Amino acid sequence: MTKYHKRLVLNLFVLTFVLGTSEFVIVGLLSEVAAGLHIGISTAGSLVSVFAITFAIGTPILTAVFSRFAKYPLMLSLITIFIAGNIMTALADSYELLLVSRMITALVTGVLIALAMSVASESVPLEKRGSAVAIIFAGFTIASVVGVPLGTLIGQQYGWHMVFWFTALLGVISLIASSATIPKALQGNRSSLQKQLGLFANSRIIIAFFIPACSIAATYTVYTYLTPILQDVMAVPTPYISLVFLLYGVVSIFSTFIGGKLAANNGISKLRFVFLAQAIILASLYLSSRSLVAGLISISLIALLVYTMNSTMQLYFIDLADRHSPTARDLASSLTPVSVNVGIALGSTLGGFVTTSSRLIDVSWTGGLVAIAAAVLAGISYRLDHNSSQLCNDPAGAKC
């Protein structure tokens, strides 16, 4: 990549880091928010689920609506709204106002992630798309490892309102950097909303959508209940649980970069094997949790595989759109983060069902079964691609 491409990717990395910090930091501030607004902890927790639901529903619709606009002014406008949303959160003195501000932030966060991926895939050389997308995705991962603890520390020291003044400031920095690096020549696709949403009528897109959803759901079936597993099954002392989560977060960063390497080498053909490995590792926690060392190794391996599919699936959605619905390219760029949010909701729900109807550690093999479903879907997608490629190479075959 040229120096310009590196600056662009770095800026988009910073942007996703800022977006991720703003999204995830609320998890570490629930107690402070509940106390400050005089609401129950479960009511404060609803801010997390509402953000995810708004993100999942609003992102594809707004991405389709906004795709007709040139990307440079659109991204700068959305970053400005993101800054305003965080300022609104920082000023919120009631649960209702806080809820509205988080929903506004969720809507622009999803579209900005989709646009960041689209800009990268259109701007960097073809052979560097995988690594570029992996770096941009890493911003989200590092936000959970660095941004969230930092924001939690600020919230504990100076109050939760100050955290969102901090994320608003980060947004201003990202706005300035974006104004200098985002290409001004990238135009939108002038297509109707109905035509763009027609992308979902393609069975290939539907199958692909549930690949990352199942993979993330498999992980979150376990991850959502990792704290009680550490406490009640592995007997990890409470003061050390945060260190385990730090270990998980650090290892998951490597997962993103491994995913970039995978995407650069026909990743869709390899994902089925990655998911099978994921299934084995998740199920292994059922036995390894009896030993502290073995259990921590299993948890580290779960983190190592959690994001390996991100870059491959991001490029796969874009490539499918290029072949079947070129005007919906930006919409296709939004599908990986949307699918991931759907997977988080499915995994946490499934984990909750298992923990209430069976033993806590049974979430391990349950997550493994969901990962097998991801492997099956990846295998179907690969087979469809393989058959399509053979048909295209056949002189008597259908036109590609």
What is the rounded CA–CA span in Å between residue 170 and residue 18?
Answer: 6
Distance in angstroms (rounded) separating the CA atoms of residues 212 and 203: 16
Instruction: Count the Cβ atoms, other than its own, within 10 Å of residue 120.
Output: 22
Instruction: List the end-to-end C-alpha distance of the chain, in Å, as a whole number.
Output: 31
Tell me the per-residue pLDDT of 296-342, one tens digit each, with 9 for 90 and over: 999 999 999 988 988 888 888 888 887 877 777 777 877 888 888 78
What's the Cα-to-Cα distance from 354 to each of 236, 289, 365, 375, rounded to whole Å? 22, 17, 11, 22
CB–CB of 27/48 below 8 Å?
yes
Between CA 356 and CA 191, with CA 341 as vertex, the angle to 5 degrees is 150
**Are the CB atoms for 71 and 186 separated by under 8 Å?**
yes
pLDDT at 3: 85
Q: Report the pLDDT averaged over residues 357-365.
A: 91
Helix (H) or strand (E) holding 221: helix 203-223
Residue 25: pLDDT band by 50, 70, 90 thresholds?
A: confident
What confidence score (pLDDT) does residue 217 get? 92
Distance CA 381, CA 270 (A): 11
Instruction: Judge whether 205 and 317 are in contact, CB under 8 Å.
Output: yes
**8 Cβ neighbours under 8 A, 6+ residues apart:** 119, 120, 123, 124, 181, 182, 183
Quote the tokens at residue 246: 């730090």
* pLDDT at site 119: 87
Name which residue leads in pLDDT, 396 or 249. Answer: 249
Which domains does the chain carry?
1-188 (1.20.1250.20), 193-400 (1.20.1250.20)
pLDDT range class, residue 393, cuts 50, 70, 90: low
**Interatomic CA distance for residues 183 and 211, integer angstroms:** 32
Dist. CA 74–CA 10, nearest whole Å: 19
Asked whether residue 77 carries a pLDDT value surpassing 80, the answer given is yes
Across 240-269, b (16+ Cβ under 10 Å) vs e yields ebeebbeebbebbbbbbbbbbebbbeebbb
- Average predicted confidence (pLDDT) for the chain: 85
Q: At what angle do helices 268-288 and 363-393 cross, to 10 degrees?
A: 170
pLDDT 10s digits, 88-147: 999 999 999 999 999 999 999 989 988 888 888 788 887 777 778 888 888 887 887 788
Residue-by-residue DSSP string for 352-396: HHHHHHS-GGGHHHHHHHHHHHHHHHHHHHHHHHHHHHHHHHSTT
Nearest-5° angle of CA 282, CA 370, CA 231?
40
Structure confidence by residue, pLDDT tens digits, 202-261 = 888 899 999 999 999 999 888 878 878 888 899 988 778 878 888 888 898 888 888 888
pLDDT in tens, 79-89: 999 999 999 99
Q: What is the largest CA-CA distance in the chain?
A: 71
pLDDT for 390 equals 64
Each as own residue / partner, the long-range contacts of residues 195-201 (CB below 8 Å, 24 or more positions apart, any chain) are 195/325, 195/327, 195/328, 196/64, 196/67, 196/325, 196/327, 196/328, 196/331, 197/60, 197/61, 197/64, 197/328, 197/331, 198/325, 198/328, 199/321, 199/324, 199/325, 199/328, 199/331, 199/332
pLDDT given for residue 191 in this prediction: 61
pLDDT of residue 391: 60
For residue 80, with 0-12 CB atoms within 10 Å meaning exposed, 13-18 middle and 19 or more buried, which class applies?
Answer: middle
**Do the Cβ atoms of 105 and 86 come closer than 8 Å?**
yes
Residue 325, burial from CB neighbour count under 10 angstroms (0-12, 13-18, 19+): buried
Q: Is residue 182 within 8 Å of 75, Cβ to Cβ?
A: yes
Angstrom distance (rounded) from CA 232 to CA 120: 44
pLDDT in tens, 145-204: 788 778 878 888 889 999 999 999 999 999 999 998 988 877 766 666 666 677 777 888
Q: Distance between CA atoms of 270 and 268, rounded to whole angstroms?
A: 5
